[in-house]
Chains A and B, each alone.
Chain A
């Protein structure tokens, strides 16, 4: 199917893009990589009459680092993140997770910003962003605001971004010390989307005691969420004994599990346990080996 007709705009800076959104109201939609939006438009499940293409705004692209944090422009593609030498050195879980998204063509066009704003229940970046305590910068007609990842994912396909706002970039504090981060996903064999994906961060003190942990789960429910109960169970333990097993058991509590033709609710519940455990073990291995990060997928 072809999409409904629309007016096409290519603003060259953020201010003009925001002005276009204010002018046209809810009928206008931002176009980033188009790999979620265009398929929906082609099914006419969304029918914007105005498209504001962000692809000609250079300010929205690229990766910069300063004062121990990394800032990534919203229009930075998955492929740019996948191949970034800077990120491979500073926060290797990002390129490693990017490699697991869809396929090369999806990664060449799809953007980290689009993926976060779209808040697909099976998207990879939402889980990674939650586990890394990401800050998201939004610009709207009334100025700028910053939203923490914890407050960003609101519901199914719903993020905190208002229709007249644009996500400009995200900032991630690079965790220091003995930290390990991992993203493990069970990928849908056709699309690559996460049937279940778990991002885990563990921070150890010199005696190998866990002083902090963040666990985020995608693919299981209507939106990506943190497993706060499991995180709390890990703090103060040595992560050997049974603490990882107990935390993995509890990871799905509070999730209203999705079931579909591919994976039932019960199956997803089990996947959450298994992938939380795998992700925590990989994060622990990364923290103790000083390697920093790991990511992997299973089909």
Chain B
């Protein structure tokens, strides 16, 4: 089995491993690092349950190989709360009943976080457009939208501590304009 050395910062911690080329980022996070908050819903790039932030952008971690994320910065749901205090987005899902079974929630939160970073005061239409890639089979989305609005009102820009390096360190890998 051929392996490739990878390094990446996950929720503020530097990780180094040797992995097979075909190991998906989601499987690296869950099975190698034990970060099982990132869920696998469809396994076919459609549901967004596996969404994490890679270099400051929401991505479906089931559609990126771990080797591709090498050198990058990853934020998962485990990195959102600071000092035992929920992130305003997490608080919003709690307060507004934005979840039922909770399976889609980590992905919803990371996608919403990506939205609010670029657009701190989104309209309802903008929130729905931003969450098009995240499917929920329970809530009917209404309360998810409210949860995001709650976070927008309650200072989502308190960036998780682990992630503060991200803005500076973000790679311009795909030449992305924010």
Contacts and interface: CB of A to CB of B under 8 A. Distances in A.
A253 B178 CA distance: 42
B64 interface: yes
Nearest to B24: A2
A2 B20 CA distance: 11
Contacts of A34: 63-65, 68
Top 6 closest pairs, chain A to chain B, by CB: A103-B133, A61-B175, A8-B21, A103-B132, A108-B57, A77-B174
A2 B132 contact: no
Interface in A45-98: 51, 53, 55-56, 58, 61-62, 73, 75-77, 79-80, 83-85
9 contacts: A1-B43, A7-B21, A38-B64, A73-B175, A83-B176, A103-B132, A103-B133, A109-B63, A109-B64
A89 B4 CA distance: 43
Contact of B22 (A4, A56, A108): A4
A3 interface: yes
Nearest to A189: B132
A102 interface: yes
B87 interface: no
Nearest to B51: A105
Contacts of A103: 48, 132-134
Interface residues of B, number: 37
Interface of B is mostly: loop
Interface string A12-54: 0000000000000000000100110011001100000001010
A184 interface: no
Contacts of B144: none
Interface in B45-64: 45-46, 48, 51, 57-60, 63-64
Contacts of B133: 102-106
Given A42-B44, A104-B58, A104-B114, A84 B174 contact: no
Given A55-B68, A104-B132, A108-B57, A35 B111 contact: no
B173 interface: yes
